[in-house]
Structure 1
Amino acid sequence: MSLFRAVVLAAPFLLPLTSEAFAESLPTITVVGEGSIEGAPDMAVLSLGVTTEGATAAEAMSANTASLKIVLERMKSAGIAERDVQTSNLSLNPNWTGYDSGATPKIAGYTASNQVMIRIRDLLRLGEVLDAAITDGANTLNGLSFGLSNPRPAMDLARAEAVADAHARATLLVEAAGAKVGKIVSISENGGYSQPAPMFRTAGDAMPEAVPVQGGEVATLANVTVVYEIVQ
């Protein structure tokens, strides 16, 4: 038998299968479900640093290093572990003058800045850590946020809530159209995260003797996309 004849003979058997597959396919609906679990935070992340000036780059950086060492030593005394301290930004820049007068710009000293992120696992000592940092030389406070040290349990609950929300939405829409929700065709997670409760304070704000802070609650969010069959 020639190859051409074999292909022709096989074609009638292929077409009915393809047509049958299309006939059995059901319409679908795609919905997005959202879940949110709120709870008290058990840790805080503090962003602070030291900014210093000097006549030379070496002087500015030396003064910065000395001040930051004092701050970090105080953090250690307050119970902050080394693994919970991370440098987030280190910079050294010249201070230019002469732009306003139209003269040739010149360097009039240098500014050094070293910023660190500090994770505080004992929230009862948060006020103490803040006081110590500012008292011992930290002159830049960029922000304070609260979070969960282990977000997985809250995230799993938020995921389950998101799936339930997707099913409820699909059911409402499909039944309103006079049909029923069928089986799940596909499900995907669009990403989840914990939404911290931030507290921001600028470097120029006055710091009272005891810094009052409130952790409030953090929200753990989940988002899923689910595709359901629609049964007529």
Structure 2
Amino acid sequence: MKKTIFMLLALLTIGLMQVHAQQQVLPPLVNVNGIGEVRVQPDQVILSMGVEVREKTLDQARKQVDAKAATIIAYLKKQGVSEKDIQTSYMSVYPIYNSGEYGRTTPDFYTAQKTMTVLVRKLNKFDDLMSGLYSAGVNRVEGVQFKVADIEKYRVEARKKAVNDAKQKATALTTELGAKVGRVYSINESTNGGRPIPMYAEAAMMKTMDSAGADGPSIAGGEVVVTSTVSVSFIIEN
């Protein structure tokens, strides 16, 4: 009996809460979207590069690629690149069969690859660093990406611009109607951008290899665009 009474009271409470929620009336609101954008020049490069070798045996291929990778890492450290900015991102060793002979189990040779991702913190050192990397054994460039070191600072700046934009829009709308903007009722925000800008690997390699006979840098970082969007509801005051 007590259990039945408790369940009835619980259902009654839930019902009253639902009725109360339905009776709630929203205040007069003005809903606006604000956009803020910041453009900044990148100051760092993420370089993905590596080495590929072909040898008659698996063991020879593995040893050759390991030796060349070690030489590349040693060169990077000698140039002042921190160990934490160097990461092996991919490695493989696989057989190659050029002959069409059916059922052949012995490969013609083995291909071994190692790819490393390097964060270059000084753009003005990129060309010299790349030239040295080719000499150290790099024969593959997978990609080049630009980034901004202190990106969060620009995200904050973009967010402030978006909020100011929203407030200006709300003020303009309410003023035209003889009202004024009150306190904020709700706000939602989304910030994106600031991701590295990719550069095609082939273009990066060709530009760097040709830079020896050209004046000026071989790469152009362009701009990183950081965008923030806010949706704000302001209470309208008469």
Fold conserved between structures, TM > 0.5: yes
Query: 1:54: which partner in 2?
Result: 55
TM-superposed deviation, 1:104: 3.5
Query: 2:165: which partner in 1?
Result: 165
CA contact (8 A) 2:211 2:218 kept: no
Gaps of 5+ in 1: none
Query: 1:139: which partner in 2?
Result: 139
Matched, 1:18 2:55: no
CA contact (8 A) 1:41 1:215 kept: yes
Whichever structure has more helix as a proportion of its residues is 2
Q: How does 1:1-232 map to 2 (within 5 A)?
A: 18=20, 21-22=23-24, 24-26=25-27, 28=29, 30-97=31-98, 101=100, 103-104=102-103, 106=105, 107-170=107-170, 181-202=181-202, 205=206, 207-210=209-212, 212-229=218-235
Could you tell me which amino acid in structure 2 is paired with residue 35 of structure 1?
G
Identity of aligned residues (%): 29
CA shift digits 1:139-163 (9 cap, x unpaired):
1112222222121221110111122
> How many residues were matched structurally?
220
CA contact (8 A) 2:155 2:191 kept: no
How high is the TM-score relative to the length of structure 2? 0.74
Task: Find the aligned partners of 1:102 and 1:178 in 2 and give their Cα distance.
Answer: 87
How high is the TM-score relative to the length of structure 1? 0.76
Gaps of 5+ in 2: none
Task: Find the aligned partners of 1:81 and 1:156 in 2 and give their Cα distance.
Answer: 29
Task: Find the aligned partners of 1:171 and 1:95 in 2 and give their Cα distance.
Answer: 69
CA contact (8 A) 1:142 1:201 kept: yes
TM-superposed deviation, 1:35: 2.0
CA contact (8 A) 2:38 2:154 kept: yes
